[in-house]
Structure 1
Amino acid sequence: MKISDLLKPDALVADLKATDKNALLEELTAALVRVEKGLDRSLVVDVLKERERLGSTGIGDGVAIPHGKLKNIDHLMLSFGRSLEGIDFDAMDGRPAHLFFLLIAPEDSVGIHLKTLARISKLLKTPQARERLMQATDAGDIYRIIVAEEANL
C-alpha cells in the first residue's frame, strides 16, 4: 500500500496551529474528517489519545506517527501535518516533532497497518527527506515531495 494512495491532498496541513499533543491530535483529525465524510471526529481523537497513553508515537528525528484502530471502517485513513515551530510529543530522543502522519486503521487489520507504519518510517528515515518536507512552500509542494520520496523507496 502506497502512502500517496492513502493520503489525499486535502488531508494535509502545511502549517499546523497546534502547540501541544492534544491540540495536534484534534487538528490532524479535523484534516482527516475533511476527506473521510461520516468519520466520528471525537471517537477518532479518543482512540488516538488512548494509544498515546500506552506510549508516545513520537519516534524521534522530528517525526511522530499517531495512530489507532477503529471499528466499522473498512480502509486505512491518513492525514499529514507539519509544525514549523515543533511540538513536544514525548519522542524517544526528547526533541520536538515537526512532521506528523496520522493513521487510522480498521480494528481487524494487523499486517497492512504495521506495513503502513513501517513504510511511513522508511519514507521519513533520511535527513534529506525530512528537510525537503520542512522547506516545502505549501500543502501541494508537500504532497509532491511525499510522492517523489516514496518513488525512491
Structure 2
Amino acid sequence: MKIVDLLNPAAIVADLKAEGKNEVLAELTDAMRKAASSLDRDEVIQVLQERERLGSTGIGEGVAIPHGKLKDIDNLLISFGRSKAGVEFDSMDGKPAHLFFLLVAPEESVGVHLKTLARISKLLKNPAVRRRLMEAGDGQGIYDIIAEEEANL
C-alpha cells in the first residue's frame, strides 16, 4: 500500500500554525477530518496523546510520525503537516520536528499499519526528500513530491 493511496491532498497542512506537540496533534487531526469527517476529533487526539505518553514519535532528523489505533474506522488514514519554524516534539535527537505524518489505523490492523510506518520512515530517511518537502510551495506540491519520491522506493 502506497502512502499516496492513503493520503488525501486535503489532509496536507503546508504551514502548521502549532507551536507545541498537542497543538500539532490537534491541527493534523483537523486536517485528517477534512478527508474523513466522521472521525471523532477528541477521540483521535486522546489516542494520539496516549501513544505519545508511551514514548515520543519524534524519530529525529526533523521528522515525527504520531500514530494510534481506533475501534470505529475501516481503513488507515493519514495526514501530513509541515512546520517551517519547527516544533519541540521530544525527538530522539533533541531537535525540533518539521515534517509530520499522522497515522490512524483500525484497532485490529497490524500489518498495514507497520508497513505504512516503515514506508514513511524509509521515504523520510533521505535528506534530499526532506529538503524537497521543506521547500515545496503548497499542499499539492508536497503531495506531488511524496508521489514522485515514493515511486523510487
Q: Residues 1-153 of structure 1: matches in 2 within 5 Å?
A: 1-153=1-153
User: 1:38 & 1:126 partners in 2: Cα distance?
Assistant: 34
User: 2:143 & 2:115 partners in 1: Cα distance?
Assistant: 20
Identity %: 69
1:38-89 deviations in whole A, cap 9, x for unaligned? 1100000000000000000000000000000000111000000000000000
User: 1:105 & 1:67 partners in 2: Cα distance?
Assistant: 8
User: 2:112 & 2:144 partners in 1: Cα distance?
Assistant: 24
- 1:150, distance to aligned residue in structure 2 (A): 0.2
- 1:37, distance to aligned residue in structure 2 (A): 1.7
User: 1:148 & 1:35 partners in 2: Cα distance?
Assistant: 22
What is the count of residue pairs matched by the alignment? 153
Letter in 1 for 2:59: I
> Matched residue of 1:89: which SS?
coil
User: 2:72 & 2:103 partners in 1: Cα distance?
Assistant: 15
1:106-125 deviations in whole A, cap 9, x for unaligned? 00011111000000000101
Unmatched segments (≥5 aa) in structure 1: none
Unmatched segments (≥5 aa) in structure 2: none
Question: Hey, which bits of structure 1, 4+ residues long, moved more than 6 A?
Answer: none
User: 1:112 & 1:140 partners in 2: Cα distance?
Assistant: 25
> Matched residue of 2:19: which SS?
coil
Give the RMSD, CA atoms, in angstroms: 0.4
Q: Structure 1 length normalisation: TM-score?
A: 0.99
> Matched residue of 2:44: which SS?
helix
> Matched residue of 2:121: which SS?
helix
1:80-110 deviations in whole A, cap 9, x for unaligned? 0000000000000000000000000000011
